[in-house]
Structure 1
Amino acid sequence: MTQNRILSHMLADIARDYGQPVMIWQASTLLGALLVAWVLARLVARALESRRRARQETARFGSESLRKALFPLLGGLLVWGAQTALAESMSTSLLELALVPLFGIALIYLVFFIARRVFGRTGHAHAWLSIAEKLVSVLVWIGMGITVLGIQDEVLRWMASVRFRVGNAHMTLLSFTTGLMWVCATVVFALWLGSVYEDRVMRAHSVDANLRVVLSRVGRALLLLAAVLVSFSLVGIDITVLGVFGGALGVGLGLSLQKIASNYVSGFIILIDRSLRLGDTINVAGLQGMVTQITTRYTKVRGLDGIETLIPNEKLVTDVVQNHSSYLTRGYAKAAVQIAYTSDVDQAMALLVEAAHGVERVLEDPAPAAYFVGFGADGINLELGYWIEEAAKGTAATRSSVNRNIWRLFGEHGISIPYARRDIHLVGALPAVLNGAVELAQDPSIGAGANEMREPGTPLARDAATGA
């Protein structure tokens, strides 16, 4: 009786079986189950890693905790199966005792995995997350120690005897602790399901990007709301009181939170009607930049100077927004050129098309095309039309490359671009005209132009000689 009062049934059974042949059988079974669990854990870990690589996913934060949980979890399941099968034919005190640390350690790592998946999505563990993990570890180890010592019933009775009041409600330490655990478990489980759901939705490339964002966020919000309602019901809180809270919240939104509510509603409108997309180049209120993130409250725009600006979604709905990006993400450009009447038109048009081929970001489909625009005063007007990929990034460099190719090809094939021709008629007596020409020739600011007029055979000299 003294031994039973000091030791729990687990430790008492271990002490009873110590030195007996049954202990050897239990130890052999335990080692065999752990060996099989170790092999299965490695195989499962490799399968998960292969699946991650096949989907081309980056290393997920918390995956190391999942790998560490595989061995104790599989070992616990195998040991529990062996203990159940052998319980009728032999004593299984050692197997029963081994289940406590196996499932306890597996629970710790599973909690780590879920917590890091939910709260460490950026890939970095926050300080409060590390503190929460240490707290969970301490609580689980205390629970394992209490279970092994067999004093869990006494601890539960003591917690049920501690009573206190929260408002008008009478609670015990046991009910408060149980309720808090249920709330934390349901909320964390809902957030984890929301994280899995968001990953699945964001990988559905057949669905529009904006619609994926809406579905993922609405789904997570609904799961979190359901978790809160279920946890309240499990704790015993009457959820009808939430109706009063909802009414008060509605009044608050209508008064003090009007702008915030308007931004959230505008965010859902932008995401649903797909008026803006990630990567679009927009101009709103004098700010031009590329949309890098769309949330339910604001839109992040990276300006041409690299500075990111948060624009409230209400402004994007009520103000005029210029979107420089089309759904096709391409833009049309043209190059106008004039050739002399003595040039070969067909050759010139072929050279124009050739000038656009091979230039970076110039699309081959639709193919560049040359057009005979009309007859000009000094030559034939031609035009080259072509499409530029991702025109929102700028077209100046592409148009410059095409124009340089046109200039080079025209020079190589003797296609001349005419200068503008102007006829000058001199009015007045011939001596006055000649005196004016002499004065112009003596003016050093005129330079070569005056000398050209003085040369015999020029149109001006001939007109002056004939008195025209």
Structure 2
Amino acid sequence: MEEQEPPPELSAQQIQEIVTIGTDIYAQVQIFALGLLRPWNLYQIGITIGLVVLAHFLRAWLGPAIRDWMASRENWPKSRLRILAVIHQRLRGIFFVILIWLVVAIMREYTWPSRSYLLSIIGTLAFAWLVIAFATRLIKSVPLRRTIRYGAWVYVTLYILGVVDQAEQVLDNIGFTVGEIRFTLLLLIQSLVILTLLLALVRFVMRTTAHRITSNPDISPSMQVLLVKAVQIGLYATAFFIGIRALGLDLTGLAVLSGAIGVGLGFGLQKVVSNLVSGVIILLDKSIKPGDVISLGDTFGWINSLGARYVSVVTRDGKEYLIPNEDLITGQVVNWSHSNEFVRLDIHFGTSYADNPHDVRKIAVEAAESVDRVLKTRPAVCHVIGFGDSSVDYVLRFWITDPTGGLTNIRGAVFLALWDAFAAHGISIPFPQREVKLLRKKPAH
């Protein structure tokens, strides 16, 4: 087994700095603890506990009445009711902040200001925590909201207590060195904070930008998809590089590493890259877009969505096919609604030689145009295309504008209309007939 390298040892100067900082913190904790044992500080702690209990009883007493009052305001806008619901969840904290600042104001009026110093700090902390709780409610993601809330609470507490510098020194001395880069706990926390804020900002900007792009009628659906994906990739790439810079990493080495990785992945991910490039080409040339009706081999359906690697096609029977973008570029695709919505369908049939072809053509056109989905603005036509062994052969051509409604069903409806019209006018549809003769065997002489 290979011997593992021992962890990096701390230098004597780093050990001395940690000991010094630890001694200072211990001394400050001792001073703080001794200060709490003073009579007036103990009184203020007791007053704080009493105010917490009083705020709890006020919430239990007034909470149901406030909830019933909110329920009676059904005609109010939902945004206002949502704000009231958030306030109702924080009633205990609101009551505590109001009570403690009332007590601080009274004590400052009738006693020395120093006797309410601890209550002022607790009141400031409670108010700051309450503001942070309300502000973070604007974040929809629950994990992100909790991360930002707890981090803000810790920082505000350290800031109000005046120990931010000491905490930074302790966190900065806890870490390890790799090459010329030193990773510390302070650097890690700062990077996480920056990354969290960047991700929250990216998600907000992404939602706003995507809504504006998709709601713009002047941009085609395919270009909307392309713009949304381009903005998304750009924003997340920017957030990633800013986070890397916050860690203090050299991006030059990262560029060399990514180039080497890219060459290796290029051979193993040829199909994936081909599909990605094909997807970009499809979006740029607008050959297909969401809502188009296409045929590819035996698959007939409409485009549900355009992905980076595949296109989602939904058929009439509810199946969803994920067709690789490369197949749509290299294969023969029938786009029924590429340049316009008009689709022409053909139906072949035959009638008896005893029936007048002029009457048959007229009856067939009238039967086709009696179907609801068949267009009247583009008249149907019927032509004689040949004389068969048993029938005169015809082709009936008609137009529709809703291929998403199905092709088989409209053909079936036109066939039924032809059947009823031919039956009403005495026109027969022949079928092949064969005459079989039995030859008698001559007797042998």
TM-score (norm 2): 0.61
CA distance in 1, matches of 2:342, 2:415: 19
Partner of 2:133: 105
Q: Structure 1 residues 358 and 322, CA, compared in 2 at 3 Å: closer, same or farther? A: same
Q: Does 1:297 align with 2:309?
A: yes
Partner of 1:195: 207
Q: Does 1:283 align with 2:296?
A: yes
Partner of 2:77: 46
Q: Does 1:320 align with 2:312?
A: no
Partner of 1:399: 411
Residue 159 of structure 1: CA displacement?
A: 2.0
Q: How does 1:153-302 map to 2 (within 5 A)?
A: 153-279=165-291, 280-284=293-297, 290-302=302-314
CA distance in 2, matches of 1:272, 1:212: 11
CA distance in 1, matches of 2:308, 2:204: 21
Q: Structure 1 residues 274 and 339, CA, compared in 2 at 3 Å: closer, same or farther? A: same
Residue 297 of structure 1: CA displacement?
A: 1.9
Indicate the larger mover: 395-404 or 205-214: 395-404
Aligned-pair identity (%): 25
CA distance in 2, matches of 1:107, 1:5: 36
Equivalent AA in structure 2 for residue 387 of structure 1: W
TM-score (norm 1): 0.58
* Contact residue 383 and residue 396 of structure 2 kept, 8 A: no
CA distance in 1, matches of 2:309, 2:370: 44
CA distance in 2, matches of 1:382, 1:308: 37
Q: Does 1:369 align with 2:395?
A: no
Q: Secondary structure at the match of 1:321?
A: coil
Q: How does 1:49-68 map to 2 (within 5 A)?
A: 68=86
Q: Structure 1 residues 3 and 306, CA, compared in 2 at 3 Å: closer, same or farther? A: closer
CA distance in 1, matches of 2:333, 2:356: 43
CA distance in 1, matches of 2:278, 2:239: 27
CA distance in 2, matches of 1:303, 1:372: 32
* Contact residue 300 and residue 310 of structure 1 kept, 8 A: yes
**CA-to-partner distance for each residue in 1:114-134, whole Å, 9 max, x for gaps?**
x36xxxxxxxxxxxx5xx666
Q: Structure 1 residues 301 and 354, CA, compared in 2 at 3 Å: closer, same or farther? A: closer
Residue 100 of structure 1: CA displacement?
A: 1.3
Partner of 1:452: none
Indicate the larger mover: 292-301 or 90-99: 90-99
Q: Structure 1 residues 190 and 255, CA, compared in 2 at 3 Å: closer, same or farther? A: same
**CA-to-partner distance for each residue in 1:159-201, whole Å, 9 max, x for gaps?**
2333432443124322331123212322342233223322332
Q: Structure 1 residues 382 and 225, CA, compared in 2 at 3 Å: closer, same or farther? A: closer
CA distance in 1, matches of 2:88, 2:214: 27
Q: Which runs of 5 or more structure 1 residues have no equivalent in the other structure?
A: 28-34, 51-63, 117-128, 425-436, 443-468
Residue 137 of structure 1: CA displacement?
A: 5.4
Q: How does 1:106-121 map to 2 (within 5 A)?
A: 106-111=134-139, 113=140, 115=141
Residue 262 of structure 1: CA displacement?
A: 2.1
CA distance in 2, matches of 1:281, 1:231: 44
CA distance in 2, matches of 1:66, 1:324: 53
CA distance in 2, matches of 1:287, 1:309: 8
CA distance in 1, matches of 2:201, 2:422: 71
Aligned length, in residue pairs: 367
Q: Which runs of 5 or more structure 2 residues have no equivalent in the other structure?
A: 1-29, 56-65, 114-118, 441-445
Q: Structure 1 residues 153 and 15, CA, compared in 2 at 3 Å: closer, same or farther? A: farther
Residue 217 of structure 1: CA displacement?
A: 0.7
Residue 216 of structure 1: CA displacement?
A: 0.5
Indicate the larger mover: 273-282 or 174-183: 273-282
Residue 323 of structure 1: CA displacement?
A: 2.2
Equivalent AA in structure 2 for residue 369 of structure 1: A
* Contact residue 288 and residue 303 of structure 1 kept, 8 A: yes
Q: Secondary structure at the match of 2:296?
A: strand
* Contact residue 297 and residue 313 of structure 1 kept, 8 A: yes
* Contact residue 132 and residue 149 of structure 2 kept, 8 A: no
Residue 212 of structure 1: CA displacement?
A: 1.1
CA distance in 2, matches of 1:313, 1:66: 49
CA distance in 2, matches of 1:418, 1:246: 72
CA distance in 1, matches of 2:269, 2:394: 61
Indicate the larger mover: 100-109 or 146-155: 146-155
CA distance in 1, matches of 2:237, 2:351: 69
Q: Does 1:408 align with 2:407?
A: no
Q: Which has the larger radius of gyration?
A: 1
Equivalent AA in structure 2 for residue 46 of structure 1: P
CA distance in 1, matches of 2:84, 2:326: 42
